Structure formats: structure tokens, C-alpha cells
Structure 1
């Protein structure tokens, strides 16, 4: 019995180490149906064009694409979303004076940023819903506090007549000021955009398990994007 116990432990360890590698192989293999693609969120319409699949003409679908917008980051530089090419974008809304919700969110977002800090295909954008207070110097301090590097993780500010419609009409999230309390209402969701700026997922930034799930699904989406890039050559 004493010899079997160490062997069992070794087998368990080998399984733990082997499974992630096997899953990675499945994602990287050439077969197109090895994993389930992430859904595409937002309104959609049927196009007038068709794609042939197994001899059948399938109508193409036009999916919602987040429209371009311009904002200023923590270094005072302009960031235009249409200039972000061939990258996944993680987007959230916040305001630096938040005492409860935002600190909870950034505990998990910092973890996610750390997970992908060396991955050049991933970009983070945090957009303030309180641009009057969240000026460049405030954003710079807040970015430093969260370990954000400009160009990888940008904290952005723009006028409310840009930010609020952007949140509601492009990301389908709440963003507004409560005039009575002076506080701001915004969603706790993280939004995942693909390289075409289509919405591929919503995740609760206050939940560690949800953000971990997001990290896993980002790896799937990265595989999708790398396949597209490979197909171009």
C-alpha cells in the first residue's frame, strides 16, 4: 500500500499538468470545430450577400460594431478606437471617486491585466463617467495606482455628451450622473471586443470567478484572431 500512494499522487500531478497542454493543443489545432466560438452581442441584421456552406446559400449577418470615439488618456494623448487594429479590447466604465464598486472592480481587472501584460494582442480601456473631476492628472495618478502602462491600459476621459451615449448606444450599458446625490451610475461589467470591435462578452468585474472566466474566453478569442492573421499570409 505504501508504494501505491506515491504513485497515485504522481498520476494526479501528471494529469493536472497535462490537461491544460492538451486543451491548448485543441485550441491551436487546424480543425475549425475544436471549440465553441464566443457569441456576438448586440443588434444584427441579415445582409443581402450569401455564403455557401455544404452547397447551401446561407445569408450573411451584419453584426453590431462599436463606433469609433476619441478620448484623452492619462498622459494627455488622444486615443481613437478606430486606430486600435488587430487587438482585443477590454472596456469598462468607472469614476475615480467611487468608494465601493470601482475598487472591487479594479482588484479583478488588475489581475486580468497582469495575466495578459506581455500579450500584444490585448488592450485595456477604462473610460471615466466623471470627466470634470477625472482630469489628466487624476487619471495619471489612478493609472499609476493600478499599475497601468499607457498604450497597454489607458484610462480615458471625454465629455459626457460623448461618454454617456457611447455607453448606452454602443456598449448597451448604463452611464449617467445622479444630479440629486452627485454620484455616478455606471455598469460593473467588463466588455470584450474582438479585433473588428464587435462585442463578444460581458463579465461582472466585481466577481473573481467571472473575470477568470473572461480570461479563459479571451484565450479562445486570441486563437480566433491569430487564425485570421495566419490566413492573410
Structure 2
């Protein structure tokens, strides 16, 4: 009975952002399912502390976590970096998980960014990128692509208003989770849902055994 009537049910994370129907149909388990086109975040080339190019979302085998910050912010930005450090520690041996702390301030320099992450250097996660892109409208990119709020502070043009969110993206550049660090449980939820997404990626891309 189990073999004939049973089915496997897996936890799947939602997909955030606008979606539409492509007009095509996909055949899944003998059923015709309308093909859905989901919001996909556009890739972007960032620059890390050492002036090296950081290809953001240009791999189809990686899941990513991203957030905004700027070095002159000693409140929210500092907390976001601190909270992400626990994720960096947890997944530092997993090259399938990349973390991106993206500065919104074109005035930030290499020394500014080094100062921000210096307390966490001992973690030694090679897949945690602290990066920026001085000539890119990061605020506009964040709002339109990552669904993270960001703007120049209307009462102080030298500072910024940024969202208190981490976003989780799958290997297809779709947003699969949004986590507000103002809630104490959100960092733990992010850690759990990274694991869920890793399982989904494995199911969707099983290892091929080469026959000899």
C-alpha cells in the first residue's frame, strides 16, 4: 500500500517577488502544471576589501545570503554584521553557501571595511565577502532586485536608511527567504532554512554516477 499509494513530501521554501505564467505547461508526475516565471535577481560584479572582483549570483550551484550595511553606521549595520558572523561560523566549511555583506556607501574604503569585519577575522570563512561597488546604485539595486529597503537619510544626507533584513537566494537567483533581525529568532530561522535549501538543491541536482 505504501509503495502504491504513498508519496514523499519535502519542505520547500516559498519564492518571493512578482511571478507570472509563461503560457507553457510542464508535465510533472503525469499532470500538466502551468509554468511559472519567478522574480530572478540580476547578477552583479562587486569588489572586495582587496580590490578583487566578487561575482555576485553568477554561479548556478551556489545559494547566497545577502544584506546591506555601511561602515559609518554603529547601530544596525554593526548588528547585521554581528548576526551574519554566526552564520559564517556555522557554514564556513560549506562552499555551497556564500555570504555577502554589501556596503551602500561609495565613501567606504578598504580600511573602513577591514575595520568593520576585523572582530570576525578569526572565523576564517573564505565564502563571506564584504564588498562594495562605488559606481553602482546599490540602493536602487537593493530595492528593485533584492527587495531590501535602502535610501539616503532625508534628514542627513551623509547617512543611510537600510533594511534590517537578510535575504536567502537559491541557485536560480530566486529569493527564498527574508529575515528581519529585529526579531530575535530570525537568525536561527535563517540557519535552519539554509539547510532546507541545501537539501532542495541536492534533490534538484543529484550527483551523477559515472559508469565504467
TM-score normalised by length of structure 1: 0.79
Q: Which residue of 1 aligns with 2:174?
A: 198
Gap regions ≥5 residues in structure 2: 1-5
Distance change >3 Å, CA 58–CA 84, structure 1 → 2: closer
Match for residue 133 of structure 2 among 158, 168, 175: 158
CA distance in 2, matches of 1:154, 1:32: 40
Equivalent pairs, count: 202
The structure that is helix-richer by fraction is 1
Gap regions ≥5 residues in structure 1: 1-30
CA distance in 2, matches of 1:165, 1:225: 29
CA distance in 2, matches of 1:99, 1:82: 28
Match for residue 139 of structure 1 among 113, 130, 136: 113
TM-score normalised by length of structure 2: 0.86
Shift of 1:146: 2.7
C-alpha RMSD of matched pairs (Å): 2.1
User: Computing the radius of gyration over CA atoms, which structure comes out larger, 1 or 2?
Assistant: 1
**Is the partner of 1:191 in helix, strand or coil?**
strand
Shift of 1:177: 1.4
**Conserved 8 A contact 2:92-2:125:** no
The structure that is strand-richer by fraction is 2
Q: Which residue of 2 aligns with 1:214?
A: 190
Match for residue 84 of structure 1 among 59, 63, 66: 59
**Conserved 8 A contact 1:93-1:126:** yes
